[in-house]
Structure 1
């Protein structure tokens, strides 16, 4: 569990997660499913509601297959994408080529971003990355440093509260807060569920203003599959988008999306 910024351990040599071995699996089990489609719908609604300019230069840090970046590129954005996985970058390039759109890619870690992209950007994306880092809070100053004054940071991460609630509903009443060592090595379960209040406070301390705080899959993941099938995915999505902006439901989302602006 990570609920507050940890003290960096100089002796910690555990590498951050690389998804070369899971790229195709993620494509099948996340991005090509209703869960992935709901994620993209939520992000799109947040950008529209907060009037985030779409046709601008974007840095997608840990951008993986670039699904949301591709949507922004289709509205005129110029995208640079950094990722630790060459397999993910290859999938991103294939998607952009198929769409006839340019994409700049770079193989590297979040911690190396300044080596490849030294400038600041009007929009920085970091989606579903923090929870895989060994020192997630150490990444926040790096992300904020890449945002130009007046620019935006779109940050999405795996939610501690949603994770715990899901475990309890599955009968794991001890509510484990992190993946087992076996899942860390073999599965796609995030390593470090994060407390959204701690993340918000850290971002505010770094000079960011939180403009949007959304829970994603706060209804979808806690509704029985048979009920989802009965009422239909469109109704599930509409309900999730509505309640993902309301307390206390948004705190049960599997993911949290924050849109933050730099003063």
Structure 2
């Protein structure tokens, strides 16, 4: 593991963006080591493969990369990975995974807003997965991500989907369909602060010079199917249905998450 040189701290130390030091091990146990986590990885693998993005020779920056699960897969293919996160504990878990496979990794503890201080160059691929929804000003982060992508390069953006969130709330009897997370869950658990409208995200990316080449809903079948039915038909069939319908309208709009692969215009 390589750490980037230390830099002066950011002047704004009051940002309330969520730090997951307290939840890192819980995430590893309750999200990444579950069918939900595996389905997320399956969706990413398929999207990258379909767009012809392979790890060989890529310079990749994973912003808010957490434990680096998908970065690790691309590193196995030959990508050079730089990863930053606000959580020291998440970075430690990522470093342990890369070290176990003797793969190089450059890490830096910093926020998304400050990553350009440590990683000023541009990259073939920038990944930002399940981060925007935890920021107090998600749309302000998009230009910062865009600046790190090379001309012709890719932004892999995954975010918590407003439509999937609201539909889930309605199915649970909350017919007012709240557009934000329960305040208690925001403070105590892993409920994202700001579910995001994918149409608005796409419009913002277009304004920044990107074209969304892949739009996928993730867990558009899994999360809306009763556990008893998932158990009866088996996880493999659930996954196949999710991967299929996650690329189709209108079902992709019901995913718990949305994944965009957006290419920066040359």
TM range (shorter): over 0.9
User: Offset of 1:100 from its aligned partner?
Assistant: 1.7
User: Offset of 1:97 from its aligned partner?
Assistant: 1.0
Q: Counterpart of 1:20? A: 21
| Partner-residue secondary structure (3-state), 2:185 | helix
Q: Counterpart of 2:217? A: 215
Q: How does 1:49-60 map to 2 (within 5 A)?
A: 49-55=50-56, 56-60=58-62
| Partner-residue secondary structure (3-state), 1:246 | coil
User: Offset of 1:13 from its aligned partner?
Assistant: 4.6
Q: Counterpart of 1:63? A: 65
Q: Is the 8 A contact 2:60 2:125 kept in 1?
A: yes
Q: How does 1:93-242 map to 2 (within 5 A)?
A: 93-242=95-244
| Partner-residue secondary structure (3-state), 2:187 | helix
Q: Is the 8 A contact 2:54 2:74 kept in 1?
A: no
Aligned-partner Cα distance in 1 for 2:180–2:25: 24
| Partner-residue secondary structure (3-state), 1:113 | helix
| Partner-residue secondary structure (3-state), 1:141 | helix
Aligned-partner Cα distance in 1 for 2:236–2:183: 36
Q: Is the 8 A contact 2:215 2:258 kept in 1?
A: yes
| Partner-residue secondary structure (3-state), 1:144 | helix
Aligned-partner Cα distance in 2 for 1:37–1:153: 21
Aligned-partner Cα distance in 2 for 1:247–1:201: 18
Which residue of 92, 107, 113 maps to 1:90?
92
Aligned-partner Cα distance in 2 for 1:99–1:170: 42
Q: Counterpart of 1:7? A: none
Structure 2: stretches of 5+ with no match in the other structure: 1-11
Q: Runs of 4 or more off by more than 6 Å in structure 1? A: none
TM-score by length of 2: 0.93
Aligned-partner Cα distance in 1 for 2:37–2:45: 12
Aligned-partner Cα distance in 2 for 1:178–1:33: 25
Q: Deviations over 1:153-204 (max 9, x none)?
A: 0000000000000000011111112112211111100000000000000000
Aligned-partner Cα distance in 1 for 2:14–2:78: 40
TM-score by length of 1: 0.94
Aligned-partner Cα distance in 1 for 2:55–2:232: 36
User: Offset of 1:21 from its aligned partner?
Assistant: 0.5
